[in-house]
Amino acid sequence: MMAVYVVAVIKRNDKVFATQRGYGEFKGGWEFPGGKIEPGEGAKEALKREIREELNTDIEVGDLIDVIEHDEAKWLGKEELSCISWLPADMELLDKIRREL
């Protein structure tokens, strides 16, 4: 069975929140927080759970943009989105996110 993942584009004050992966092949790469959908779990429930587990915070899940663990995290403005080394899956979302900011 194929694993399905969810990611959060957390927006505040015209910035989006990004996390830096702390392990594995893509260690040091930047990505949006999220994780794997567990069996029997919906996408919104999975996203709320993952953010609670990873960032110890609760979020309100808005509209779906797309369906696609960390050392550092930061808030990024539209102009800063191109200044960090994104992981390949997240790079595909950047233009959509820029239009939303």
**What are the residue boundaries of the structural domains of the chain, listed by start?**
5-100
What is the C-alpha to C-alpha distance for residues 96 and 27, in angstroms, rounded to an integer?
A: 25
pTM over 0.75: no
pLDDT (tens digit, 0 to 9) for every residue of the chain, 101 residues total? 556 788 899 999 999 999 998 888 889 999 999 998 999 999 999 999 999 999 999 999 998 886 555 667 789 999 999 999 898 878 888 988 888 88
- 5-100, what's its fold? Nucleoside Triphosphate Pyrophosphohydrolase (3.90.79)
